[in-house]
Amino acid sequence: MLTNKFNSSSYGAFLVGLAGMAIGVAVGFGAGAIPVVVGLLLGVVAVLVFFFARFEQAVLTLLVLRSSLDPFSAQQIPAAFAIGLDALTILYVIVQILIGKKVHTDKFFWIFAGWVAFLGIWIVLPIVGWGLLGKTYLGDGIREWTRIFSWLMTYLLVMQLKGKIHLQKIIPVLFFSLLIPLIVGFLQLAINFSFPATTYCPNCFSSTLGHPSTFGTFLFLFIGLTLWKLSHIQKNRWFWLTLLGNLAFFMVMTKSLTSLIMMSVFVIVLITPKLNLLRLIGAILFITIIFYLFASTEFGSEKLAGVLETPVFNQDLDISRTILLSFGDGNSANWRIAQWSFLIDAWKQSPLLGYGLGTSKYITYFQNYAHNDYLRYLAETGIIGLISFIVFLGMQIVYLAKYLRNSPLGSPRRSICVTMIAIFAAILIGMATDNVWNHTTFFFYWWLLFAIVGWEEEGGKELGVRS
């Protein structure tokens, strides 16, 4: 009687063979029905083969590719990419468990997963008939939850690179994601902004990110990483300094005031632990130059003047008058104050659980995004959801501080932790005045960085490891 058993490799080969048979059958039926199905299935096969045969290279390619997809949003390419990435991650985890290999996670992953699962409440509630809006905007809620779930899958996928590639090698690879956005940015400059731009700022750079503010936060993130890189190299510093100058130039040219404020907060937090006179002068000079360049443009000067014409700086204005002015004065700062007032009024109608994920742009007079992520969560998920959001943000601070304490002095990991804490402080400020939580590309790279800094943490978890 045969007593041979599958070992891990033979079992994995069996699974791959079984999948090949299934795809072969599907291709056969597809060839007789819809020929285009054959092409799609063969494409899927090619991706799967590359993904499992060259896992590290495939993951890095996917990470770099994400920054170039937003111009195809109308064709749903970014959404398809996210769903495909989710499917690949889940498939990889299942295969690893079945063949008895390690699936790396950490404690923060489970906190992240728990919060994402908790947000699912606001998908279930409309389905069971709860809420002032019912199922009217259920599709928006599902899309928003799926978007956040994709960040979780990005985190999980990057965790699987643990032990395969070092932190100092993977972060420089991420800079290739700047290649296409910067090329498109230079083309926008060369042909005098003839690329489509937003109506509120027709001469603002948006590159491949679709919106100037989104491009601005993306550039801000890589400015932080460039400064981190400069702190650890002695050779080729001119290359990195040139890159830093180009990133700062394009960030100013996005004319996104939120991005400039975030950059200022980042610089202040970054230099605070080792503050001295030289660093202070350098930081002040850097911030001054950025805001001077911003204010030297017509759009920038109007934005800054608009901020001064708000109740915060003009005592002759009250909220009621600000709301009235917001309907026709073109002042985006006053418009934001009016939008926030409308959101708070709407929230009062459903204070505990809000209106549902993705609904904030439908519940005010302006029918627009919240431009304040805290008020967005208050309106969409009520006080319960807002508390969960703030706790989730707080846990990120806790874990970054933990990683910082556990990193050796002078190590690249300790330095990237400091950089990420400064970036996160800027995120917290930026979310108070803009739709930073909507900047999917920014958070795609944020979460992969968060996974990377957790690689070397003691006490990491493993799923499905057979004895």
Statement: residue 8 has pLDDT above 60: no
Count the neighbouring beta carbons within 10 Å of the beta carbon of residue 48. Answer: 19
Q: Which domain holds residue 233?
A: 102-456
pLDDT digits (tens, 9 = 90+) for 150-202: 999 999 999 999 888 888 889 899 999 999 999 988 888 777 654 444 555 65
- pLDDT at position 165, please? 86
Does residue 108 contact residue 454 with C-beta atoms inside 8 Å? yes
Mean pLDDT over the full length of the chain: 83
CB 213 within 8 A of CB 255: no
Identify which of 248-257, 281-290, 412-421 has the greatest average pLDDT. Answer: 412-421
What local confidence, expressed as pLDDT, does residue 328 receive? 67
Q: How many CA atoms lie within 13 A of 76 on its CB side?
A: 4
Across 218-236, b (16+ Cβ under 10 Å) vs e yields bbbbbbbbbbbbeeeeeee
Same-domain pairing of 89 and 120 = no
% the chain with pLDDT above 70: 85
Residue 461 lies in a domain: no
Asked whether residue 62 falls in the same domain as residue 107, the answer is no
353 and 267 co-located in one domain: yes
DSSP structure class, residue 165: S
Which residues, at least 6 apart from 271, have a Cβ–Cβ distance to it below 8 Å? 279, 280, 282, 283
Q: What is the pTM of this model?
A: 0.87
Do 136 and 65 belong to one domain?
Answer: no
Q: Is the pLDDT score of 119 beyond 80?
A: yes
Residue 222 domain flag: yes
- Classify residue 463: in a domain, yes or no: no
Residues 72 and 111 in one domain: no
Provide the pLDDT for residue 192. Answer: 63
* 41 and 117 housed in the same domain: no
Whole-angstrom CA distances from 55 to 115, 176, 250, 360, 446 are: 28, 18, 34, 39, 21
Last residue of a domain, one of 42, 71, 101: 101
Q: Do the beta carbons of residue 311 and residue 267 sit within 8 Å?
A: no
Residue 218's nearest CA partner among 436, 451, 374, 453 is: 436
Instruction: Say yes or no: 86 and 166 in one domain.
Output: no
Is 112 in the same domain as 90? no
Q: Where are the beta strands (DSSP E) in 69-148?
A: 103-105
Lowest mean pLDDT among 323-337, 347-361, 443-457: 323-337
149 pLDDT higher than 90: yes
Residue 462 bridge partners (DSSP): 104
Kindly tell me if the per-residue pLDDT of 10 is higher than 50. no
Residue 187 lies in a domain: yes
Over residues 254-262, mean pLDDT = 89
Split into its structural domains, the chain has a count of: 2
Residue 241 has pLDDT above 70, yes or no: yes
Residue 91 has pLDDT above 70, yes or no: yes
- Is residue 2 in a domain? no
Tell whether 111 and 74 lie within a shared domain: no
The widest CA-to-CA distance across the chain, in whole angstroms, is: 94
Instruction: Give the whole-angstrom CA distance, residue 284 versus residue 279.
Output: 9
**Pick the residue with more confidence: 281 or 27?**
281
What is the model's pLDDT at position 105?
92
What mean pLDDT do residues 210-227 have?
Answer: 91
DSSP for residue 38: H
Q: Facing residues of 179 across strands? A: none
How confident is the model over 13-49, as pLDDT tens digits? 455 555 554 545 444 444 444 555 555 566 677 778 7
Both 93 and 112 in one domain: the answer is no
**Which pLDDT belongs to residue 69?**
87
Better-scored residue on pLDDT, 422 or 300: 422
Q: What is the pLDDT of residues 340-378, one digit of tens each?
A: 999 999 999 999 999 999 999 999 988 889 999 999 999
Q: Is pLDDT at 445 greater than 60 in this prediction? A: yes
- Give residue 287's pLDDT: 85
Nearest to 211 by CA among 194, 198, 196: 198
Which of 69, 101, 133 is the last residue before a domain boundary? 101
What is the per-residue pLDDT for 262?
A: 93
Beta bridge partners of 104: 462
pLDDT value at position 27?
Answer: 45
Answer whether residue 462 is part of any domain. no
Last residue of a domain, one of 60, 85, 101: 101
Residue 467, domain member (yes or no) = no
Same domain as 226, residue 151: yes
Same domain for 233 and 134: yes
Out of 178-187, 196-205, 237-246, 392-401, give the one with best mean pLDDT.
392-401
Q: How far is CA 295 from the centre of its chain?
A: 28
Please provide residue 236's backbone torsions phi and psi, each rounded to the nearest 5 degrees: 55, 30
In a domain, 356, yes or no: yes
